[in-house]
């Protein structure tokens, strides 16, 4: 009898100690002073509790989440130990929640919904974009891209508070560090760790003033090579220098005059005999603002491919996916 008595006393003591520990853990008041150990919480139990609180029937709750009635009964037992509360008790009409159960019924669905959204990343974000987006884009491409892109984004993302456009020369590092969301420009090589999407392919065109003497002559590559040219200088790969590799008769003293801005070069060309070679989309925009004529060059340089570029760190981010999709849709819509 003494052995049995000691055994029963030990069982009761152990059960009391277990329930006391669970209560302390739940309140974040462990004797050691630490916070509740989230690693000890089974998320599946919370899913079961959500169903139990909604259906207030063990069988129906189990059917809702694909578990058997015995499994749900065991889950309810574990939940009662976890919360140190009965949570649901029997009544003449079925299971009814305790005050603690009512409290959890109000808070648990929103908490699990947040977790589900974090895991599935399926939230609708197009109309809820509430932060700024930063694009790295060359000066000349901004002329061709922004008039179409800004109205498109304003309609589809009214909560996008800013759209900053930075110089393209620091785009690669900025994309990697997260300072830049997307880059729009021309890069011939595939960089490791970066993704590209083709937006459109442009061709080159010449800009020169309406009464330029060259327009009265035969428009040949030899005559073209003797003209004084303007070119865009930049520290990035996005430049037009290679176009002049096609001009074997271009003498050393006729090297292009370098400008850092397309608009500056165009303004100078409108009052001088300089000829400016730029992508046709840019030429069209500039000629609408300045007294310049758009003429096809007397040679066929390589096509000018404009890409959308981003870093792999954002490749699977749902908001970033949406932004890429919208930018591409805006610019591809107007592709030649």
pLDDT at 253: 46
Of residues 332 and 33, which shows the higher confidence score?
332
**CATH architecture, domain 133-201+305-333:** 3-Layer(aba) Sandwich (3.40)
pLDDT at 128 over 60: no
Banded pLDDT at 246 (limits 50, 70, 90): very low
334 closest CA partner among 262, 284, 276? 284
**Dihedral of the alpha carbons of 214, 218, 222, 225, in degrees to the nearest 10:** 20
Q: What is the mean pLDDT of the chain?
A: 79
Cα dist. 148→2, 73, 137, 320 in Å?
89, 60, 14, 20
The CA distance from 198 to 161, in Å, is 27
DSSP H or E stretch at residue 118: helix 99-120
Contact 207, 283 (CB under 8 A): yes
At 45-58, the pLDDT tens digits run 999 999 999 999 99
At 294-310, the pLDDT tens digits run 999 988 777 888 889 99
Count of positions (residues) in the chain: 336
CB half-sphere exposure, 77, CA atoms < 13 A: 6
172 closest CA partner among 327, 60, 313? 313
Do the domains 2-120 and 133-201+305-333 sit in the same CATH topology, yes or no?
Answer: no
pLDDT at 188: 72
Q: Would you tell me which CATH number, out of the four given (3.30.420.40, 3.40.50.880, 3.40.190.10, 3.40.1010.10), belongs to the domain 204-302?
A: 3.40.190.10
pLDDT at 177: 86
Q: Which of 57-66, 146-155, 273-282 has the lowest mean pLDDT?
A: 146-155
So where are the chain's domains? 2-120, 133-201+305-333, 204-302
Residue 165 forms beta bridges with which residues?
A: 135
48 closest CA partner among 21, 67, 22, 26? 67
pLDDT (mean) for 134-156: 84
pLDDT at 34 over 60: no
CATH says 2-120 is which class?
A: mainly alpha
pLDDT at 206: 93
185 closest CA partner among 230, 234, 151, 126? 234
Banded pLDDT at 152 (limits 50, 70, 90): confident
- Is the pTM higher than 0.75? The answer reads no
Banded pLDDT at 14 (limits 50, 70, 90): low
The CA distance from 155 to 99, in Å, is 47
At 87-102, the pLDDT tens digits run 999 988 888 999 999 9
Of residues 319 and 24, which shows the higher confidence score?
319
Reduced to 3 states, what is the DSSP secondary structure of residue 97? strand
pLDDT at 292: 96
Best-predicted range by mean pLDDT (138-147, 153-162, 262-271, 325-334): 262-271
């Amino acid at each position: 009898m003494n052995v049995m008595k000691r055994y029963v006393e030990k069982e009761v003591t152990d059960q009391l100690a277990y329930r006391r520990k669970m209560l302390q853990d739940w309140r974040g008041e462990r004797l050691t002073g630490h916070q509740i150990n989230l690693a000890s919480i089974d998320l599946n139990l919370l899913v079961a509790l959500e169903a139990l609180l909604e259906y207030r029937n063990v069988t129906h709750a189990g059917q809702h989440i694909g578990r058997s009635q015995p499994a749900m009964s065991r889950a309810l037992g574990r939940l009662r130990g976890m919360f140190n509360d009965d949570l649901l008790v029997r009544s003449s009409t079925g299971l009814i929640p305790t005050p603690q159960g009512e409290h959890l019924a109000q808070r648990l669905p929103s908490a699990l919904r947040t977790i589900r959204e974090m895991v599935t990343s399926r939230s609708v974000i197009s109309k809820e974009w509430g932060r700024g987006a930063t694009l790295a884009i060359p000066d000349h491409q901004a002329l061709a891209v922004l008039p179409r892109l800004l109205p498109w984004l304003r309609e589809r993302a009214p909560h996008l508070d800013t759209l900053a456009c930075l110089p393209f020369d620091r785009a690669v590092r900025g994309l990697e560090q997260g300072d830049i969301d997307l880059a729009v420009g021309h890069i011939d090589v595939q960089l490791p760790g970066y993704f590209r999407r083709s937006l459109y392919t442009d061709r080159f065109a010449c800009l020169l003033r309406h009464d330029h003497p060259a327009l009265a002559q035969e428009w040949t590559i030899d005559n073209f090579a003797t003209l004084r040219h303007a070119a865009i200088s930049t520290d990035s790969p996005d430049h037009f220098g290679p176009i002049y590799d096609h001009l074997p008769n271009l003498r050393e003293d006729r090297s292009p005059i370098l400008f850092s801005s397309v608009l500056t070069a165009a303004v100078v060309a409108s009052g001088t005999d300089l000829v400016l070679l730029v992508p046709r989309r840019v030429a069209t925009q500039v000629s609408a603002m300045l007294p310049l004529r758009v003429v096809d060059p007397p040679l066929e340089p390589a096509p000018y491919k404009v890409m959308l570029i981003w870093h792999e760190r954002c490749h699977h981010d749902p908001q970033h996916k949406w932004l890429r999709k919208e930018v591409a849709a805006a610019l591809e819509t107007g592709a030649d």
